[in-house]
Amino acid sequence: MTKTRSYIIALFTSAWLIFASALAARLAFAWDQQRKIPHQALAMVPFDQETGNIALSLSQGEGFGNLFRKPTGPTAWLAPAYPFLLFVVFRFFGAMTIASFFAAVALNALCSAAATFPLYAVARRVGSRAVAAATGWLWVFLPSGVLIPFEWIWDTSLSVLLVCALLWLTLRVAETAKWSDWLAYGLLWAFALLTNPAIGIGLPLLLGWAWLCKPKSKEHSGWLQPTVCCALIFLCCLPWTLRNYAQFHRFIAVRSSLPFELWIGNNDIFDPHAVGGIQRITRYEETRRYAQLGENAYLDEKRRNTLAFIRGKPALFLRLTFRRVVATWAGTEHPLRDFAETDSWLARVILFLNFVLTAGTIAAAVFLFARRIQFRFPLLVFPLFYPLIYYVTHTSLRYRHPVDPLVLLLTVFAVCCCFYNRQVRTSTTAS
């Protein structure tokens, strides 16, 4: 009986079983949904956005451009990694086909499920095997984790994997002087920046923490590996930056669309007292304007409009920012009202889970600092800082999704601190 019990415990705390279950859950949802939607629509609609348009342009031999499926030329609107991955999918399965859609969904599901491994490893470092297993199983069935790989042909699921992997590797390099680990760390950061530059907000914080915690000796102060790591990141990103300068004659490190993203969330449509301001925003009008002006002039116009709005209406800007903070963590700007009024049980479940996860994250932050947990700083970097860009631009739960696995981990950690203290490490090593 004891052996049987040990075998069952080992099985259900296995990262491989959790990964397989996560992958199965995501593919099962995708299989169920694709039966309800005409395949002709699935072959076209999910790709009818910037990522799909750029991948289509690449597949047609027209380069990284044609942002709105019109001959508008080169673009730096998006980071290059995911559009190129989607281009590879198009090369093997055909551009804008149902086979390409299934392949893209499978790739998203694989990335989402594979996040289990670094997430499990981080949770195991922070707590016990039970903490790691609980976090992993919650990730298996988290609604956003199951839905998003099918709903969004975008870099979101890949970003989930990258955020978890970066945190895991940060903890690893902080304890080693091995060149292979530091070189892998630099390459992973470079790929992350070329996939989703918003992840880069954690680069100086996590790299600085890893350097401070890195073992040092009398022979060297530990500067060499972090310096080479930074140089590697720079060299990997440099070709894309040079390409952008050659095409647009201005410095664009990775992507150019920040002025547009700021304008979307900060313009006169949000001011009920605006006279002669924007009454509505349509994709057709913005696409026409982009094609008319070109990318540089279009984004310059959006930058001027946004700055004028913020300078002229700072109180409204602050109110909009607060509403976006609430929406980022609650899922909607009016969570209590929407919970009471919605007829969807799924919407209520998601709203309730957001409340639990937000409360759990806050509680975990308190416990981490009160107990001086060794990894308190790196654990909080992404949940605290990654959403900042969406607070000032525009937001949705999809944008917060890359940090959802870490939010789950923090919630499990908070619960264990309250009820299962033995499952939590209490090291007070300086961080």
Instruction: Kindly report, residue by residue over 412-427, the tens digit of the pLDDT.
Output: 999 988 876 656 665 4
Does residue 430 fall inside a structural domain?
A: no
Does residue 429 fall inside a structural domain?
A: no
pLDDT in tens, 75-130: 999 999 999 999 999 999 999 999 999 999 999 999 999 999 999 999 999 888 88
Would you mind telling me the total number of residues written for the chain in this entry?
431
Q: Burial of 337 by CB count in 10 Å (0-12 exposed, 13-18 middle, 19+ buried)?
A: exposed
CA distance 379 to 123: 10
Amino acid found at 373: I
pLDDT at 277: 54
Residue 160, sorted as left (phi over 0), alpha (psi -120 to 50) or beta, turns out to be alpha
pLDDT at 426: 56
In the chain, the number of structural domains is 1
pLDDT in tens, 336-366: 898 888 888 988 999 999 999 999 999 999 9
Confidence of residue 384 (pLDDT cuts 50, 70, 90): very high
Average pLDDT, the chain: 91
Helix, coil or strand: residue 72: coil
Query: Among 55-59, 160-164, 200-204, 214-218, whose mean pLDDT is lowest?
Result: 214-218
Does residue 293 fall inside a structural domain?
A: yes
Does residue 259 fall inside a structural domain?
A: yes
Segment 187-207 mean pLDDT = 97
DSSP-based helix, strand, coil % in the chain, nearest 5 = 75, 0, 25
DSSP annotation of 68: T
CA distance 284 to 19: 42
Does 220 have pLDDT greater than 60? no
243: containing domain: 2-423
Amino acid found at 40: Q
Q: Cβ neighbours of residue 242 under 8 Å, at least 6 residues apart?
A: none
CA distance 78 to 260: 12
Q: Comparing C-alpha atoms, which of 420, 283, 408, 423 is closest to residue 357?
A: 408
Query: Among 128-132, 221-225, 309-313, 389-393, whose mean pLDDT is lowest?
Result: 221-225
pLDDT at 420: 65
Query: 123 is written with which tokens?
Result: 């949770």
Q: Comparing C-alpha atoms, which of 267, 349, 273, 264 is closest to residue 308?
A: 267
Does residue 428 fall inside a structural domain?
A: no
Distances (CA, A) of 215 to 101, 205, 425: 47, 18, 21
Does residue 299 fall inside a structural domain?
A: yes
Higher pLDDT, 98 or 176: 98
CA distance 380 to 247: 38
CA distance 174 to 165: 14
Distances (CA, A) of 265 to 298, 323, 331, 360: 16, 11, 16, 28
Confidence of residue 430 (pLDDT cuts 50, 70, 90): very low
Residue 278, sorted as left (phi over 0), alpha (psi -120 to 50) or beta, turns out to be beta
